[in-house]
C-alpha cells in the first residue's frame, strides 16, 4: 500500500486547532471549488522560501473559489520553533490569510502521506486528489524557479481540464516524525514519480 494519498482518492477529514483560535475541519471548506492542503512548518528553509509565494498564490486564486489550508505536523521536542506558539507568531509575521493548523498527533500527516515540507495536495470540488507534490522546482530561491506545477494544476482544474502534470516529487525537508531520526521516512514512502 502506498504511503502518500493517491490521485483520485478523497481528502481525509481533519479537525485541528488553528492559529486563529478556532478548530478547522475539512467541511469548513465545502464551498471551495478547489482546496489546497499544504503540509508546512516554521523552520524549514524550503518552507521559508515558499511562504511569500503561498500568500501570493492564495491572494491570486481565492477569488476563483480556491481555498488553502496549511498544516504543521512536525514534532517539537527536537524542533521547538515548530510549536503552536511559534506558529501563531509566524502566521502574524508573514500575514497568512489562510488557516494555519497544528497536527500535534501527526495523524493527519499520516492520513495524507505527507513526505516533506512543503508538500501540496490539491483537491477538486468533490475533494478528489488531482495534484500532489511541489509548488515549483526551486522552493528556496523563487527567482530561480523554472516551473510552476502548482499554479498549472490550479489553472487546469479551474478550466475543467485534466491536470497535465498531476504528480511531482515535493522538494523540502522531511516531515519530522516523533520518536524517529530527523531524516526518517516510512519504509513504504518513496519517490512519487
Query: What is the full DSSP assignment across the chain?
Result: --SSPPTTPBPPP-EEEBTTSSEEEGGGGTT-SEEEEEEE-SS-HHHHTTHHHHHHHHHHHGGGTEEEEEEE---SSS-GGGSHHHHHHHHHHHT--S-EEE-TT-HHHHHHT--EESEEEEE-TT-BEEEEE-SSS-SS-GGG----HHHHHHHHHHTTPPPSS-B----SEEP--TTS-TT---TT-----
pLDDT of 192 reads 53
| Domain membership flag for residue 89 | yes
Pseudo-torsion of CA 89, 180, 10, 88, nearest 10°?
Answer: -10
| Domain membership flag for residue 14 | no
pLDDT of 187 reads 74
pLDDT of 193 reads 45
| Domain membership flag for residue 122 | yes
pTM, entire model: 0.96
* Total of domains in the chain: 1
pLDDT of 191 reads 54
d(CA 156, CA 89): 35
Q: Which residue has the cell 501563531?
A: 88
Domain that holds residue 69: 32-174
Which CATH number characterizes residue 112's domain? 3.40.30.10
| Domain membership flag for residue 125 | yes
d(CA 72, CA 175): 9
pLDDT of 190 reads 61
| Domain membership flag for residue 186 | no
| Domain membership flag for residue 187 | no
| Domain membership flag for residue 112 | yes
Question: Which residues does the chain have with pLDDT short of 50?
Answer: 193
| Domain membership flag for residue 47 | yes
Amino acid at each position: 500500500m502506498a504511503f502518500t494519498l493517491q490521485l483520485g482518492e478523497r481528502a481525509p477529514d481533519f479537525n485541528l486547532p488553528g492559529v486563529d483560535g478556532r478548530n478547522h475541519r475539512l467541511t469548513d471548506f465545502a464551498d471551495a471549488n478547489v482546496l489546497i492542503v499544504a503540509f508546512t512548518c516554521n523552520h524549514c528553509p524550503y518552507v521559508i522560501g515558499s511562504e511569500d509565494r503561498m500568500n501570493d498564490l492564495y491572494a491570486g486564486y481565492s477569488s476563483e473559489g480556491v481555498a488553502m489550508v496549511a498544516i504543521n505536523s512536525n514534532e517539537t521536542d527536537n524542533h521547538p520553533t515548530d510549536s503552536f506558539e511559534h506558529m501563531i507568531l509566524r502566521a502574524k509575521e508573514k500575514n497568512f490569510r489562510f488557516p494555519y493548523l497544528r497536527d500535534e498527533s501527526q495523524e493527519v500527516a499520516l492520513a495524507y502521506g505527507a513526505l516533506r515540507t512543503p508538500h501540496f495536495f490539491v483537491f477538486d470540488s468533490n475533494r478528489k486528489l488531482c495534484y500532489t507534490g511541489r509548488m515549483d522546482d526551486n522552493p528556496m530561491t523563487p527567482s530561480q524557479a523554472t516551473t510552476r506545477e502548482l499554479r498549472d494544476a490550479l489553472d487546469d482544474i479551474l478550466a475543467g481540464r485534466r491536470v497535465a502534470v498531476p504528480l511531482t516529487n515535493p522538494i523540502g525537508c522531511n516531515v519530522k516524525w516523533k520518536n524517529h531520526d530527523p531524516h526518517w521516512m516510512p519504509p513504504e514512502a518513496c519517490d512519487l514519480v
